[in-house]
Amino acid sequence: MFTLNCNGRPMAIDEPLVMGVVNITDDSFYAGSRYAAGKAAVDAALQMLSDGAAIIDVGAQSTRPQSRLQPAAHELETVIPFIAALTAAKPDAVISIDTFYADVAYRAVKAGASMVNDVSAGNMDADMIAAVAELKVPFIAMHMKGTPQTMQQLSHYNHLPAEIMDYFIEVIEKCTAAGVNDVVLDPGFGFAKTTAQNFELLRGLSSFKMLGKPLLAGVSRKSMIYKTLSVSPEEALNGTTVLHTMALLNGANILRVHDVKPAVECIKLVSAYNRTSDRKLHDFLF
């Protein structure tokens, strides 16, 4: 079990949690996750919370391959009103700010966000880890090489799991030295990784549990699903649920998803399965 200090509010992770994605951008890879700023985005977040999401992850920067880089000012003018509106509508909502800009992270938390989700783990803004330490909120650190604009050319690894493990060890050391107490590790499915490497990473997800940090899996509707199945992201929900099941069985503590209700149901079923010991199964069968 893990406990995260979400801006003064403890969040226990005794069973896996769902993080619902709200992308306030028209550049996200999956059309169903794109929301216009204002009431539409807030209503979507409220529905996710009603469906069982424990966290809302909001961002205004697409990080799909070859995405358009947006300045921090654009993120601020988009996410701060959303955070204020959602907090007003649902004061107990746990909001994660998805950004690699330290200034955006700082202002978002001051506006009501409770954690920071950085796809670069502090590597795209040298001030990020210090900002998170000052804010005293959890830091979701994702593995990526390069930037979203260059990462697809950087998918060569001599030993994928070992290199990501070393990356996380270094990130944890930096966070500890800076005073960041709560770190969540995201192996970065789809970021500087081929489809085959993504499946290798999913199979070996449990190896990162030795680092003693919660693990986040973000596979929802990604290319490892829709390319393998020769479908579109819009047709990838069934495949997403299959991979969510695999991620949970391999130790994921948080699922970052576009479709909250199916993910909540997946967690309930896998948790029921995990509670059945070998002895109970033997008694049931014999």
Cβ atoms of 216 and 15 closer than 8 Å = no
Nearest-angstrom CA–CA distance, 175 and 169: 10
Q: Which residues of 7-20 are buried (b: 16+ CB within 10 A; e: fewer)?
A: beeebeeeebbbbb
Arithmetic mean of pLDDT over the chain: 91
Tens-digit pLDDT profile for residues 37-68: 678 889 999 999 999 999 999 998 866 666 56
The better pLDDT of the pair 237, 33 is held by 237
Out of 145, 193, 221, 256, the active site residue is 256
- Give the pLDDT confidence score for residue 80 in this predicted structure: 95
Out of 203, 222, 268, 280, the active site residue is 222
Distant-in-sequence, close-in-space partners of 192: CB < 8 Å, separation ≥ 6: 143, 144, 145, 146, 151, 152, 154, 155
Tens-digit pLDDT profile for residues 230-267: 999 999 999 999 999 999 999 999 999 999 999 999 99
In this predicted structure, the answer to whether residue 279 has a pLDDT above a threshold of 60 is no
- Give the pLDDT confidence score for residue 81 in this predicted structure: 93
In this predicted structure, the answer to whether residue 284 has a pLDDT above a threshold of 80 is no
Tens-digit pLDDT profile for residues 113-167: 999 999 999 999 999 999 999 999 999 999 988 667 666 777 789 999 999 999 9
Q: What mean pLDDT comes out for the span 83-96?
A: 97
Nearest-angstrom CA–CA distance, 35 and 58: 10
Q: Is 256 a catalytic residue?
A: yes
Q: Which residues pair with 21 in a beta bridge?
A: 57
Nearest-angstrom CA–CA distance, 165 and 204: 11
The better pLDDT of the pair 13, 282 is held by 13
- Which three-class secondary structure state does DSSP give residue 139? strand
